[in-house]
Amino acid sequence: MSRAGLRIPQSPSNRSSLIEFFASALLSHHSHSGRLTKLNEAILLLLEGFRSDHIIHLHRFSALLMLSSALYTRYSMSVKNESQDLDDAISLLREALRMTSSHTEQLMAASNNLAGLLSERFHYSDDISFLDEAIQVQRDVISWLPPDHPNQSTALSVLATATHERYHHALHAHHRPKCIALQQQAVALLPPKDGRQVVYQNNLSRYLYARFLHYVQFLNSHNWESLSDAIVACRMSLQGIDPSNPNFAGISNFLAQLLGHRYFHTKGSDDLHGTIDAFRAAVQCESAPVSQRFYASQLWAKFADDNDHESALGAYVDAIRFLPRLAMLGLNIQSRQNVMTAGTDGLARHAAACAIRKDKYALAIELLEEGRAVFWSQALHLRAPFDELRLKAPDIALDLEIISKELERRSLHGFAHGHADALEIERQSEDLRRLNDSWLKGLNLARSIGGFEDFLLPKSFTSLRVAAANGPVVVLNASRSRCDALILKSAAGDILHVPLPLFTPETERNTMKMRNLAVGSSVPQSRGDRRFRPGRSRSVDPEAQLRSLLATLWTTVVEPVIRALGMAKSSTPSRLWWCATGPFSYLPLHAAGLYGVDGTVGECVWDYVVSSYIPTLTSLVSQPSQNIDSFKVIAVIQPFRPGYEPLPYTGDELHSIEVHVTESCLVPYGLADSPAIVADILSALPNANIVHFACHGVQNSENPLESALILEDGPLKITQLMELSLKSESLAFLSACQTASGDETLPDEAIHLSATLLFTGFRGVVGTMWYVHGLGLVQNKITSRLLQVYS
């Protein structure tokens, strides 16, 4: 309706009024429904108005305040709280203040808002100058505002917030009573039924809680009166707000934390039940931002789990089912990856451990599958085949197919922030969000059809157990409290549970040791450097460390699994798949064993099984076998690149491939007449059965999506590989360092080069987490064995 009205010819004044009217209506709709689309539409409408000069000077001040408020609302709803919206909101308010110097209601509103946003900006940057500016702005307002003015309470409350933050940062406890007194004064000036009581009582409860924490942390005592007063104030805040209000979840979640803290010390049953009830109310607030509901469900699950409350498992299930909505497809690829760093890792593992304690092994596997590799599972949904749906509902299938392709194209390409203005970026963001809404509506339509109720929903255990059709699959789980192996012996058998005799902290220490050995002093730093580099300390023999670590892996992880499976040593060992979670993801399970100082080998995993790794069970379930019409090997060698040490053995690797592959089947890149150009490699990959990369690989710890293989004209990045969709049965051999080394902060998301190639369609990938001495020999043996399969 707003777009149609604005298309009618109007005078500048009427057009400005219409823009404000429609934007205000959209914002009101959002405040009651919590629908992000209405908020985004209002922001886009106001941005277009400013961009096209349709908002004249007369209306500019109020429009600036409206847009600033909308941007801050969106900032507060985001999971990662990206600062751009907040910075833009502050800039708009500063512009509004420059437009007037008279002491008006408008000036006071802009000043109050600016002080509040500056306080919030301090949280993001830890720059104390933002707080100092906020305090000064608010003191200026109070200096000219009459004491009996109706908005005196607002000015006092905003000053209380800035004062609390300023002196909380400086740990000046003697100023805390001042901010509490300011807030109490603000509360007292308001009539009991005033809507602002909700916010002011909530703020007061937070300042009182901060005083309680100060006593605990710095004075080693408990000011129970402050905590009790905080609980009373928070309950007063909740009494003034409807449970359907989007703000209800945040306040109820805070009440749960207050009651939970008191229960930790008093163990009173009323506080236990009150904590659970408050968390549950926050999670069930449908209009609240998903990020707040997810945060509340996380806290609820941990609290209930720590206190052995029966609601723990249900809370974990709720939290995990929020994950796809957090990292929605309406975000670009980088934003989705950023969202997954916001405290989500480990959730699925803790949920699985809770299910294991209750002997619910099938549920544990479902939770691990649903709560890990969310990034990849969402991307794979966009590549789902719609053949069966097309037979039943061709129109819905066609719509979903079109939307999925457009979603993938736009989300992979991201936004050109360096070249586009704010309005263009906002338009791109809104287009993605609308596509995501259309995608979700299409899925709901498909699921309303008989036989498609579970269409593109997380797989049940009945579907996942098929992963063990060709051999045992071992799921290793490490949580806060325990480590376990869940074994699928066959596609039809029950789950075998093996408690592991080690704890997660020990597993994490072993992971750290392994990484230190891999990238520290104990191994060459590149394939061109065969020497051991001197480290900071030579007091520990790195080979002795490695032997100890591999022995620990054998006795505490691998051997218990082998014994549970009843396996015996064999000259032709069978295959076993490891699905490792958390810290297990970085450990060399395939090399676990007892190694002597003299080079002798005792018990060792490879005497019993041939080890393979999978990021998820779905990666095995979703692999259709295809006929091979033709055979082609692509070899990419890149021995020299500026800034990287030479790789002198890449020529030997190519020669070993040439020994096994006929000239008609081999396409080499990296030679004088055929350089390894990124575009050429990308176009060639879909036609290959085997791809061999002999080059440098780089894992970007700051941004895993920027991890890459280093080629002639630059990096071949994960984001570029993700755009591929391979149709043939194929295998990749990554003779490069760090190609299976993921992000330490997200071990359960498996964002590395090897996982990316699995996503694009490769049935198997050979990758490395660190340097491998004698890799050329390893590659030669693997190549010769592979050709037996294809011959």
Task: Render pLDDT for 590-642 as a digit per residue (tens, 0 to 9).
Answer: 999 999 998 889 999 999 999 999 888 988 886 555 555 678 899 999 988 88
**Given CA atoms 12, 18, 20, 23 in this order, what sign does their dihedral have?**
negative
Q: At how many degrees (to 10) do helices 650-660 and 775-790 cross?
A: 20
Spatial contact of 92 and 67, defined as CB atoms under 8 Å apart: yes
Question: For 132-158, what is the mean pLDDT?
Answer: 86
- 738 pLDDT band (50/70/90 cuts)? very low
**Summary mean pLDDT of the chain:** 81
Calculate the alpha carbon distances from 43 to 21, 61, 96, 773 in Å: 13, 16, 17, 57
Distance (Å, rounded) from C-alpha 100 to C-alpha 313? Answer: 56
pLDDT at 704 over 80: no
Edge-first strand listing for the sheet containing 633-637: 666-669, 633-637, 690-694, 731-734, 764-766
Calculate the alpha carbon distances from 475 to 361, 495, 557 in Å: 11, 10, 11
Angle at 237 between CA 231 and CA 243, to 5 degrees: 115
Mean pLDDT check: name the lowest of 199-203, 527-531, 731-735, 752-756: 527-531
User: Domain locations in the chain?
Assistant: 385-455, 461-619, 623-790
Beta bridge partners of 691: 634, 732
For residue 677, the one-letter residue type is I
Distance (Å, rounded) from C-alpha 319 to C-alpha 313? Answer: 10
Distance (Å, rounded) from C-alpha 126 to C-alpha 130? Answer: 9
What is 623-790's CATH topology?
Answer: Rossmann fold (3.40.50)
Q: Among candidates 284, 371, 363, which has minimal Cα distance to 326?
A: 371
Question: For 427-448, what is the mean pLDDT?
Answer: 83
pLDDT at 537 over 60: no
Angle at 98 between CA 93 and CA 100, to 5 degrees: 105
Instruction: Specify the residue for token string 């908020």.
Output: 39
Spatial contact of 326 and 339, defined as CB atoms under 8 Å apart: yes
| Secondary structure of residue 563 in the 3-state scheme | helix
What's the pLDDT tens digit per position in 295-342? 999 999 999 999 999 999 999 999 998 887 776 655 555 565 555 555
Spatial contact of 332 and 414, defined as CB atoms under 8 Å apart: yes
- 371 pLDDT band (50/70/90 cuts)? confident
Distance (Å, rounded) from C-alpha 518 to C-alpha 319? Answer: 35
User: Which residue intervals of 34-82 are DSSP H helices?
Assistant: 36-51, 57-77
Distance (Å, rounded) from C-alpha 254 to C-alpha 242? Answer: 16
DSSP for 255-274, please give it: HHHHHHHHHHHH--HHHHHH
Beta-sheet pairing, 574-580 with 473-478: parallel
Distance (Å, rounded) from C-alpha 394 to C-alpha 386? Answer: 9
Question: For 334-358, what is the mean pLDDT?
Answer: 78
Distance (Å, rounded) from C-alpha 132 to C-alpha 127? Answer: 10
Run of H or E residues at 611: strand 609-613
Spatial contact of 335 and 377, defined as CB atoms under 8 Å apart: no
- What are φ and ψ of residue 723, in 5° steps? -75, -15
Distance (Å, rounded) from C-alpha 326 to C-alpha 294? Answer: 8
| Structure token digits, residue 159 | 């000053």
Find the largest Cα–Cα distance for the chain: 93
